[in-house]
């Protein structure tokens, strides 16, 4: 199988498309010009959310058998969110049996997903956190129990992210 | 037992299905164990009891070869495809979804066909169509491809050959989930049928896929399981509802259908798994180290004393020299201690209670290890004997029987009693082996049960030893080239008799263990007679410890009933004098 070259071709094509016609809400590029498998993505905090106005960096790492397996996404900016750190959303989970049993197969990874659809999913995750399977338990607890506290910490992250620019 | 209930539940769910197989059953009747190979199975000879219906009188399972499985799959597929008037591919998808439960599939299909189609992903018509396109864009790589390189499931979502291949390969390599593959589009639940997979997958993947397909028939159903013997490809279908799980595959491997360990009747699955875990557990090694070694006082590495003298030198790099008895530095052992090899500080220190704790732990570990070793040794040597007996039986059947028949001028059918003896030996070794695991877990304080058990086990074991010796040694005389001294006419009834006697001993043992040795609890009258028998049984059987307690309880049981100044403990049946309010043996309150 020419899977590795299929992955390169597909990633190259997506990169070209995103440069030519950028999508609102994020910008994407390579971490290292010579490595198509590691992308640096900057997500702009979506309007009408706690994250509005923030600039959050994340690294997307693609496996050699992309698009048959999902990439991993990790936030490098500080972002106070129940699902921060290594981003844990259902479409980034490999298909097949869900070990925890609460995600439908249709919500999970499928080769039709692109950088664009993944980032859009992450943006929607920012506005509606999934506190049922949190990566950051502390943030999830705060989000659920003391929303004001949570709001303050997010604002601090947003401000810091703007200062970093 | 939990698993029993599960199985019974499963039975309720699956029972209706049998109706659909009533036609097919005749094809596999040949393999219904209970026919010819009955004679190969020592187990049945052992338990084919004349009137006791709780013992196995007929087999309740069917061995399925790969060809049988395929044939049954084939029948289900054709049946479903003709009854529902759908394609074979669609029938396969449905059957995989419904875990080959034809009746449930029928019920749900005829109740609400649309709903079944929706859940399973059998669309009636495409959701997208491109009637006049010459080229289509693949939904994965977004390249345009001519139509002959574009494929789609019934839904019509177009993907190119390369992307489909990648998708299918990934899914097949992910495991049996590939049998329920769906269109890559997340919003589309259309199933990807076998036809498409076989068209696009590599040969290697196709083979994997078909293997998963066959496996699903066995693994998805609750009443079928693979034979666990290495290399054996047969499966066993078990009539749920029976509580005797021992089955014998056509490959001659006997196993417990419930836990798939080797056959272990009359010992239950829980005890067996505990025992197996214990045998493999690192904890036994730890116990040994604790009991037989001491840590070097300097570097703390465990040291085993393997020579006589007490002057220990730890291995490099430590090289610490110390005294084994007191663990003090050897340099202290000058004239003060009365010479190098006579450390008196050990006893002195012990009296002061200095070493008590460590010493006590070591002692306890040693006792528990000794107890375990006692049972393990017997378990393991019966296992070895059984292996040897299996080899001997094979040798007998393939070589010696013919020779013997020539020599004695007897037809082989007249020598069947020899084979039967060996089969009995093999089965008995197996039972005996597992009774040692049973014995290990029999609670110490249940004295009466323990005595009954050890008595029955002792009787059975003694019988088996006589039988094994007779079959192994005394038969040799007739196999040699010399004219036999002994008379074969007297040998025949002897061996046949021993076989019969041993069988009945083991039947008693198995029956007693299977009802949890309840005789001693429920019927005091019975326990009296057993205990009195016990007194002579103990002489043959176990070591000094058993003997001591035997005589004690035997005496008490005999007193039971005719002496009014005693009460019998509810838990261990020990007869206590009226003057005490809790049992002297197990401390149970009166």
Tens digit of each residue's pLDDT (9 = 90 or more) over A32-53: 888 999 999 998 888 888 888 8
Domain residue limits at B145: 128-168+182-190
Contact A111 B166 (CB under 8 A): yes
Judgement on whether residues B517 and B569 belong to the same structural domain of the protein: yes
pLDDT score at B143:
86
B551: in domain? yes
Judgement on whether residues B475 and B333 belong to the same structural domain of the protein: no
CA-based nearest distance B15→chain A, Å: 28
pLDDT score at B159:
93
What do you get for the CA distance between the two ends of chain B, in Å? 30
Contact B167 A111 (CB under 8 A): yes
| φ, ψ of residue A101 in degrees (nearest 5) | 75, 20
Contact A6 B141 (CB under 8 A): yes
B15: in domain? yes
Contact A110 B184 (CB under 8 A): yes
pLDDT score at B561:
40
| Cis amide linkage into residue B387, ω under 30° from 0 | no
Is residue B30 pLDDT above 50, yes or no? no
Task: List the single residue in B with minimal CA-CA distance to A9.
Answer: B141
Mean pLDDT of all residues belonging to chain A: 81
Reported ipTM: the value is 0.72
Judgement on whether residues B418 and B446 belong to the same structural domain of the protein: yes
Is residue A122 pLDDT above 90, yes or no? no
How far is Cα B184 from Cα B166, in angstroms, rounded to an integer?
11
Is residue A100 pLDDT above 70, yes or no? no
DSSP characters over B373-427: HHHHHHHHHHHHHHHHHHHHHHHIIIIIHHHHHHHHT--GGGGHHHHHHHHHHHH
Is residue B349 pLDDT above 90, yes or no? no
B206: in domain? no
Average the pLDDT over each of B275-279, B473-477, B489-493, B578-582 and give the range with the smallest value. Answer: B578-582
- Note whether A15 and A28 are within 8 A (CB): yes
Chain B residues whose CB is inside 8 A of the A105 CB are 182
Is residue B314 pLDDT above 50, yes or no? yes
More confident residue, B322 or B527: B322
Judgement on whether residues B57 and B94 belong to the same structural domain of the protein: yes
Chain A residues whose CB is inside 8 A of the B140 CB are 10, 67, 111-112
More confident residue, B58 or B313: B313
Is residue B481 pLDDT above 70, yes or no? no
Task: Place B274 in a pLDDT band, splitting at 50, 70 and 90.
Answer: confident
Residue indicated by tokens 């693994």: B219
Judgement on whether residues B547 and B566 belong to the same structural domain of the protein: yes
pLDDT score at B558:
38
Judgement on whether residues B313 and B410 belong to the same structural domain of the protein: no
CA-based nearest distance A36→chain B, Å: 15
Structure token pair of residue B138: 């693949």
Judgement on whether residues B429 and B571 belong to the same structural domain of the protein: yes
Chain B residues whose CB is inside 8 A of the A2 CB are 162
> Could you state, in order of their start, the residue ranges of all structural domains in chain A?
3-164
Nearest CB neighbour to B170, from listed A9, A68, A107: A68
How far is Cα B297 from Cα B300, in angstroms, rounded to an integer?
6
Question: Considering chain B, what percentage of its residues have pLDDT values greater than 70?
Answer: 70
More confident residue, B542 or B402: B402
What is the average per-residue pLDDT within B177-198?
A: 88
- Determine the topology of domain A3-164 in CATH: Ubiquitin Conjugating Enzyme (3.10.110)
Is residue B20 pLDDT above 50, yes or no? no
70-99 in A: which are within 8 Å (CB) of B? 91, 94-97
How far is Cα B279 from Cα B288, in angstroms, rounded to an integer?
13
Task: Place B204 in a pLDDT band, splitting at 50, 70 and 90.
Answer: very high
Task: List the single residue in A with minimal CA-CA distance to B181.
Answer: A96
What is the average per-residue pLDDT within B26-39?
A: 40
Task: Place B547 in a pLDDT band, splitting at 50, 70 and 90.
Answer: very low
For residue B316, give the 3-state DSSP assignment: coil
Nearest CB neighbour to A105, from listed B140, B166, B182: B182
Task: List the helix and strand counts (H, then E) for chain B.
Answer: 23, 15
Chain A residues whose CB is inside 8 A of the B119 CB are none
More confident residue, A74 or B308: A74
Contact B174 A94 (CB under 8 A): yes
How far is Cα B109 from Cα B97, in angstroms, rounded to an integer?
12
Mean pLDDT of all residues belonging to chain B: 75
Highest mean pLDDT among A120-124, B50-54, B64-68, B355-359: B64-68
B176: in domain? no
Judgement on whether residues B507 and B437 belong to the same structural domain of the protein: yes
For residue B2, give the 3-state DSSP assignment: helix
Task: Place A75 in a pLDDT band, splitting at 50, 70 and 90.
Answer: confident
- Note whether A129 and A143 are within 8 A (CB): yes
> Mutual orientation of helices B88-97 and B102-111 as an angle, nearest 10°?
100
Domain count, chain B: 4
């Amino acid at each position: 199988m020419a899977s590795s070259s299929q992955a390169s071709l597909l990633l190259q094509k997506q990169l070209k498309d995103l440069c030519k016609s950028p999508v609102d809400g994020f910008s994407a590029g390579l971490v290292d010009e010579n490595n198509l498998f590691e992308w640096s993505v900057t997500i702009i905090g979506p309007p009408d959310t706690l994250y509005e106005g923030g600039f959050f960096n994340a690294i997307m790492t693609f496996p050699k058998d992309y698009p048959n397996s999902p990439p991993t996404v990790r936030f490098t900016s500080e972002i106070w969110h129940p699902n921060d750190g290594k981003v844990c959303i259902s479409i980034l989970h490999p298909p097949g049996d869900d070990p925890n049993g609460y995600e439908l197969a249709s919500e999970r990874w499928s080769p039709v997903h692109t950088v664009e659809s993944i980032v859009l999913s992450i943006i929607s995750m920012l506005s509606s956190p999934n506190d049922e399977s949190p990566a950051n338990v502390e943030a999830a607890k705060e989000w659920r129990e003391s929303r004001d506290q949570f709001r303050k910490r997010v604002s601090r992250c947003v401000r810091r992210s703007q200062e970093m620019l | 037992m939990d698993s029993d209930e599960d199985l019974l539940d499963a039975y309720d769910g699956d029972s209706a299905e049998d109706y659909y197989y009533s036609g097919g059953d005749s094809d596999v009747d040949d393999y219904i164990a209970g026919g010819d190979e009955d004679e190969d199975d020592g187990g049945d000879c052992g338990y084919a009891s004349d009137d006791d219906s709780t013992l196995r009188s007929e087999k309740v399972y069917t061995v399925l070869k790969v060809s049988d499985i395929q044939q049954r799959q084939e029948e289900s597929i054709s049946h479903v495809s003709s009854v529902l008037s759908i394609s074979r591919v669609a029938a396969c998808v449905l059957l995989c979804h419904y875990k080959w439960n034809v009746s449930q599939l029928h019920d749900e299909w005829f109740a609400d066909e649309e709903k079944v189609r929706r859940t399973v992903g059998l669309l009636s018509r495409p959701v997208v169509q491109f009637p006049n396109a010459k080229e289509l864009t693949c939904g994965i790589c977004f390249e345009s491809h001519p139509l002959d390189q574009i494929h789609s499931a019934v839904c019509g979502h177009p993907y190119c050959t390369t992307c489909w291949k990648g998708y299918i390969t990934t899914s097949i390599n992910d495991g049996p989930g590939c049998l329920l593959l769906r269109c890559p589009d997340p919003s589309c639940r259309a199933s990807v049928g076998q036809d498409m997979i076989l068209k696009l997958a590599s040969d290697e993947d196709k083979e994997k896929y078909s293997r998963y397909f066959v496996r699903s028939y066995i693994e998805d159903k609750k009443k079928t399981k693979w034979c666990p013997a290495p290399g054996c490809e047969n499966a066993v279908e078990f009539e749920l509802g029976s509580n005797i799980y021992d089955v014998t595959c056509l490959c001659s491997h006997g196993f417990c259908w419930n836990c798939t360990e080797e056959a272990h009747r009359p010992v239950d699955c829980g005890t067996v798994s505990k025992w197996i875990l214990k045998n493999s557990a690192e904890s036994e090694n730890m116990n040994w180290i604790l009991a037989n070694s001491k840590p070097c006082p300097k570097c703390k590495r465990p040291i085993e004393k393997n020579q006589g003298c007490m002057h220990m030198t730890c291995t490099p790099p430590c090289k610490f020299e110390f005294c084994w008895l007191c663990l003090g530095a050897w340099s202290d052992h000058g004239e003060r201690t009365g010479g190098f090899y006579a450390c008196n500080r050990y006893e002195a220190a012990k009296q002061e209670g200095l070493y008590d704790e460590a010493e006590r732990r070591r002692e306890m570990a040693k006792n528990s290890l000794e107890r375990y070793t006692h049972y393990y040794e017997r378990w393991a040597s019966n296992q070895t004997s059984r292996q040897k007996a299996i080899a001997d039986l094979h040798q007998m059947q393939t070589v010696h029987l013919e020779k013997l028949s020539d020599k004695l001028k007897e037809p082989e059918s007249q020598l069947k009693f020899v084979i039967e003896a060996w089969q009995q030996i093999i089965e008995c070794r197996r039972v005996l082996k597992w009774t040692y695991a049973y014995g290990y877990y029999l609670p110490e304080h249940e004295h009466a049960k323990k005595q009954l058990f050890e008595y029955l086990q002792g009787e059975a074991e003694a019988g088996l030893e006589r039988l094994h010796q007779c079959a192994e040694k005394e038969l040799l005389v007739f196999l040699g080239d010399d004219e036999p001294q002994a008379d074969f006419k007297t040998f025949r009834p002897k061996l046949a008799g021993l076989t019969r006697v041993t069988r009945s001993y083991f039947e008693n043992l198995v029956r007693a263990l299977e009802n949890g040795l309840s005789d001693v609890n429920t019927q005091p009258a019975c326990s009296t007679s057993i205990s009195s028998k016990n007194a002579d049984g103990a002489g043959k059987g176990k070591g000094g410890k058993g003997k001591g307690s035997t005589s004690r309880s035997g005496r008490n049981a005999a007193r039971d009933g005719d002496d009014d100044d005693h009460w019998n403990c509810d838990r261990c049946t020990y007869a206590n004098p009226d003057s005490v309010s809790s049992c002297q043996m197990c401390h149970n309150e009166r």
